[in-house]
Amino acid sequence: MWRPERPFRPRAAFVAFAFAVVAALGACGGEDTAGAEAPAEALPRNTWTWIDVPGTACGDGSQTGIAVNRGDGDEVLLFLDGGGACWDALTCFTLGLAKPGPFGSAEFAARAADVPGTVLDRAAPGNPFARYTLVFVPYCTGDVHAGDEIQGYPGAPRRWHHKGRVNVARAIDWLDANLGAPPKVVVSGASAGGFGALITFDAVRRRWPQARGYLVDDSGPPLVRDDLSPAVRAAWFVSWRLDEVLLPLCGTACLEDLSAVFPVLSGKYPQDRLSLLSSTRDSVIRSFVLLEPARFEDALLRLTTAVIAPLPNARTFLVPGSSHTLLGAPASFTAGGVRLDEWLRQQVEDDPAWSSVGP
């Protein structure tokens, strides 16, 4: 998630309908215990355990799962990994803008080097999630964790399983059955996982309605209306079946304006706290939406000032520059004189000092 794995840049013939994106590695370090389904009582505390979850699928159709690091507290941090997106034969196969899998215990173990200093590092000084049960949801479906469709794209060598939404649902099923309902749940993710956290937040909250809910969307800004290409937005709805998620949540408003998700969630869960983290000229997301740096900054500020700022329970953390994702080094980013790890603590501990900071 945090260390760019490989950059994708727009090509001249692709500008009208595609985006460039960095497939970033997800942090999931710690001791990796590979295995099949593991009952909660068998999970060691403060170490990572890989769990194969039946009913899940990567883009290539192979089964995936989740990694769980059981904490000393009952709170849960559900983290959705990032790494690109695709919606047709060109983006999925020719350009390879998303990884199709596999993602199992071996792939999870390879991520161990990425955890130090991240929100998944219990030992990181100031980490507000140090006592939480940490849940890592891998990303291998190319659909920002929001799809439920198997696509046979014309000209593609095989079908692509966009099953990210199903994978998140199966993860929640496992957690509910094995750990029970948490008193507090933080739904988070970075890049594609940030978009995924925003879109799947409602499903998590409906499963655990008595919990206190918190959304931390890192670098997944749902830009206002046509700041996101209408053609790309429409392709997402068709290829990933986003309509099945967003129409019940916000009606037809989200068909033309993905930013409508923020006020809908704010109104539906008024006691929850919602946040968006971003740099003002994110080098990956601005390529994703095909905007020059200054235009992307204008679009981001339009989202934060016109859509998010009026909401009583939503805040933004913005830093200048082109950094992509912040949760990989929360102690390294400061806005308005507040370090990000402290700002996140304010959010999840319901501190009245929590406020929007940055440009």
For residue 289, what pLDDT is reported?
86
For residue 265, what pLDDT is reported?
98
For residue 39, what pLDDT is reported?
61
The one-character DSSP state at 218 is E
For residue 21, what pLDDT is reported?
28
For residue 161, what pLDDT is reported?
99
In the chain, where the domains are located: 4-348
The residue written with tokens 């990989």 in the block is: 328
The Cα angle at residue 109 between residues 108 and 111, in degrees rounded to 5: 70
For residue 25, what pLDDT is reported?
26
pTM to 2 decimal places: 0.89
Query: CA 68, CA 178: separation in Å to the nearest integer?
Result: 11
SS in 3 state form for 82-138?
A: CCECCCCHHHHHHCCCECCCCCCHHHHHHCHHHCCCCCCCCCCCCCCCCCCEEEEEC
Phi, psi dihedrals of residue 198, rounded to the nearest 5° = -65, -45
CATH architecture, domain defined by 4-348: 3-Layer(aba) Sandwich (3.40)
From the list 5, 2, 21, the residue with the least C-alpha distance to 284 is 21
For residue 116, what pLDDT is reported?
87
Task: For 246-282, give one letter per residue: b (16+ CB within 10 A) or e.
Answer: beebbeebbbebbbbbbbbbbeebeebbbbbbbbbbb
Contacts of 281 (CB under 8 A, 6+ apart): 293, 294, 296, 297, 320, 321, 322
For residue 34, what pLDDT is reported?
42
pLDDT in tens, the chain (359 residues): 333 333 222 222 222 223 322 222 233 334 444 444 556 667 899 999 999 999 999 999 999 999 999 999 999 999 999 999 999 999 999 999 999 999 999 999 998 778 888 999 998 999 999 999 999 999 999 999 999 999 999 999 999 999 999 999 999 999 999 999 999 999 999 999 999 999 999 999 999 999 999 999 999 999 999 999 899 899 999 999 999 999 999 999 999 999 999 999 999 999 999 999 999 999 999 988 889 999 999 999 999 999 999 999 999 999 999 999 999 999 999 999 999 999 999 999 999 999 999 98
Structure-token pair, residue 16: 């009208």
